[in-house]
A and B are shown apart, each in its own frame.
Chain A
Amino acid sequence: MNYCNLITIFAFINLLVSIPHGYSNYVETKAGQFFSSGHTNNWAVLVCTSRFWFNYRHVANTLSVYRSVKRLGIPDSHIVLMLADDMACNYRNPKPATVFSHKNMELNVYGDDVEVDYRGYEVTVENFLRVLTGRLPPSTPRSKRLLSDDRSNILIYLTGHGGNGFLKFQDSEEISNMELADAFEQMWQKRRYNELLFIIDTCQGASMYERFYSPNLMALASSQVGEDSLSHQPDLGIGVHLMDKYTFYLLEFLEEVHPASQANMNDLFKVCPQSQCVSTPGHRTDLFQRDPGSVLITDFFGSVRKVEITKDTINLTSPVEPPIKRSGSSDIQIESLTYVDQLPVAEIIHQKPKQKDWHPPDGFILGLWTLILLVFFQTYGIKHLKHIF
């Protein structure tokens, strides 16, 4: 009888002890997965580069992406919205304070709470690159800065008129694909992003991502080199084309996405096939480390905060699971991220300046004084030496 009781008590005690242990194991696994995606915050840089009323659709493009991104959780403080012209309050707009994306004025993407950070003539190539690289004058307000860090996933959306290798800003200047690639490399060097998704909706948009060479970049474009991106539908009431085809279908796709959805990048690549878009959308994933199938849409378009409430303390002793590596060989070998070596300031400060004295070479001194002596004796004669000494 006693043994039975003891055994029961022991089993019970074991059970009691193991339950929290098992629970903490579970939490630890979850914690391991918590950090597996690699990013902790999201940013978006949405740029419309065209001005004039007939480029209404570019502003509408940008505003629809803005709308989706905001809806999925990225706050205004993390969005840098650059619109080169004001369509909502344009004097040619028959419906002021609205920007429609669908004909018959179905969807007003302008809304009540649009925060435009760079407007009008502030949208220049220089400002765009400065935003990306962070090299802004100290007086720039926070709303105009891309304050990303090395755990940020950034979405960059560009739209406007472009060509093979360039994108036109304000009808007066251009940004080339090489400049863009260098800007991204600067961002990589300065650890300004964890992963970056680059979407461009212009004519021959694929040329803009051809030159990228920094890691963790994924790019999508609305058309290949040699193709034009076409606009979608005009609205006869407003009188201009309202959206571009690619962004229209992108918006349709994004309207289906909600913060908890598991839609991944492979679905995004399928947006707007040639049958719908006339141009062939392209994408580039060779620089991206993860498998696009494992990358959620909300990793870039939303700001999904991973929060787990637990009442126990958790010991994170086990190493964090690395992100899911893509299958197949990758050409780019990326070494583990480390900070650059700090300047050896301690060595410099406490060291007395070493005076490395330069001395004229002996041959020179010898030669020079020999010559001087020769000339001296030639002029004054050796017989005078008697008088000197």
Chain B
Amino acid sequence: KTVCDLNLSSVLMNSNLVHRADSFFLATKMAAPLTLLLIVAVTIRAVLFRSSWAELISERVEVVSPLNAWKRVVEGLALLDLGVSPYSGDVFHETPFMIYLFHFVVDYAEIVFMVSPDLVFCLSRFLTSLKQKYALESDRYPADCLELLRSPKEMFYIPLKVAMFYLLNPFTILSCVAKSTCGLNNAIIALFILCTLKGSALLSGILLALATYQSIYPLTLFAPALLFFLQRLYIPVNLRRSSFWFFTLQYAFIYVGSLVVITGLSFFLLGSWDFIPSVYGFIFSVPDLTPNIGLFWYFFAEMFEHFRLFFICVFQINVFFYTIPLSIKLKEHPVFLIFMQIAIISIFKSYPTVGDVALYMAFLPAWSHLYRFLRNIFLVSCVLLACSALFPVLWHLWIYAGSANSNFYYAITLLFNFGQILLVSDYFYAYLRREHHLTHGLYLKKKDGTEATLVLK
């Protein structure tokens, strides 16, 4: 190692220590801009709530899905008041915990309630980002990578940017104004990430169980959370080591145990297991083919019954399939793995909405240092913007004007998902490339001295 390196590492370690002590002060220093941001966000939402757009937005299929629509929640609670199980009749697909939560809140303070997931989310994002930077520093980088590393100054504003990206994201605003319970699911996932990064295995397991209980797909976040804890506790990920299995079993026990406890508790709420086919059966078997921004509806609308089961299995496996390869590739970078997993869930889940998209988009400022390695960012942003604009247009043309048909909307859905996949894979490429540069130097030279190009195989 060069002297430069030692200096670098010492500087970094010092700064780490300083930062550890200063995190609290940092938080207070950022309190003012954060408060301003919060006020702006709440104002926007309040204005939209009171306008006539609220009704319009709460009916848009891009924003609400059969799983998290507010009017279904109201319907389910009304059924409950009439003495009928809310799960009868394919109206209500929320979990019993939601029933319990909304039972008290449904008549009043719904606006405050809707804002609070955003608050929780941005708060947890905020704290997450604060914690996160510790994971990025490492002291074995070659000297010319100085410019790749992020200086504390840059990273100072990341939490604020993350909060801004989430709170002021039009997708989030739409999702909040529509009173979709997607915001709550996002808040639980955000709290889970916060607890994971803070190192509390118990809370993290419990929150992950809660997130899985809400919609099954966060199950894939078990692997990155496990990897993070293993990394934190300096347990090598070696399948032959007993310490690895010991911790894995501990974590799995917490996770599965709390899942069982939560499911058992929800049985006691209504006294029946109705919610399992209504919620999880619904998510897995996709009976409702209302168009949304996902890929399931069109396929299954045109599919013959004969093949339906096969393709359901294929599509659902597609969500869970990327966990193992990504975990293997990113086992030293669990935080990025969490981001990738969330993105994959948002793209490939059975009933995605723009709230799910906003969830992983909020993460993007945390990887702002990858900007120089992104190759398709212009294309992706254009695609996403154009598709977001075209969704309501083509919907109107299809449903109201009658001059288009479902293929038009499906094309935009395809393009939107293509844009998302391109975004995610671009960030993945950028991340891997940065890691490569960090280990091999930034300006790579071929054997004869000319500049080398890096190809992702």
Chain A contact residues, CB within 8 Å of chain B: 355-361, 363-365, 367-368, 371, 375, 378-379
Contacts and interface: CB of A to CB of B under 8 A. Distances in A.
A379 B268 CA distance: 26
A367 B265 CA distance: 7
B268 A357 contact: no
B138 interface: no
Contact of B81 (A358, A361, A363, A379): A358
B269 to A, nearest CB: 5
Interface string B182-210: 00000000000000000010110010000
Interface string B74-89: 0001001111000000
12 contacts: A358-B80, A358-B81, A358-B83, A360-B99, A360-B100, A360-B103, A361-B268, A361-B271, A364-B100, A364-B269, A375-B203, A378-B202
A381 to B, nearest CB: 12
B261 interface: yes
B95 to A, nearest CB: 13
Contacts of B200: 379
B206 A375 contact: yes
Contacts of B99: 360
A379 B265 contact: no
B103 A364 contact: no
Contact of A357 (B81, B206, B269, B271): B81
A358 B269 CA distance: 11
Nearest to A359: B103
Contacts of B82: 356
A335 to B, nearest CB: 34
Contacts of B261: 371
A356 B268 CA distance: 20
A357 B80 CA distance: 8
A122 B271 CA distance: 56
A372 to B, nearest CB: 10
B contact face: mostly helix, strand, loop, or mixed: helix
Contacts of A365: 100
Contacts of B206: 375
Interface residues of B, number: 17
List the 4 shortest-distance A-B pairs measured between CB atoms, nearest first: A358-B80, A364-B269, A364-B268, A360-B100
A368 B77 CA distance: 20
A357 to B, nearest CB: 6
Interface string B202-244: 1100100000000000000000000000000000000000000
A367 B268 contact: yes
Given A357-B81, A364-B268, A367-B265, 5 more contacts: A356-B83, A358-B77, A360-B269, A371-B265, A375-B206
B103 to A, nearest CB: 6
Contacts of A375: 202-203, 206
Contacts of A359: 103
B81 A355 contact: yes
A112 B99 CA distance: 74
Contacts of B80: 358
Contacts of A363: 268
Among the interface residues A358, A360, A365, A367, which one has the most CB atoms of the partner chain B within 10 A? Answer: A358
B103 A379 contact: no
Nearest to A378: B202
Contacts of B103: 358-360
Given A356-B83, A360-B103, A379 B202 contact: yes
A131 B132 CA distance: 77
Contacts of A364: 100, 265, 268-269
A380 to B, nearest CB: 10
B244 to A, nearest CB: 24
A364 B265 CA distance: 6
Interface in B255-269: 261, 265, 268-269
Contact of A356 (B81, B100, B269): B81
Contacts of B202: 375, 378-379
Contacts of B268: 361, 363-364, 367
A364 B264 CA distance: 10
B261 to A, nearest CB: 7
B81 A368 contact: no
Contacts of A378: 202
A368 B200 CA distance: 21
Given A375-B203, A379-B202, A368 B100 contact: yes
Interface string B54-80: 000000000000000000000001001
Given A358-B80, A360-B103, A379 B203 contact: yes
A247 B200 CA distance: 94
Contacts of A379: 200, 202-203
Contacts of A357: 81
A355 B269 CA distance: 20
A368 B203 CA distance: 15
A363 B265 CA distance: 9
Contacts of A358: 77, 80-81, 83, 103
Contacts of B271: 361
B242 to A, nearest CB: 26
A379 B271 CA distance: 31
Contacts of A371: 261, 265
A316 B320 CA distance: 86
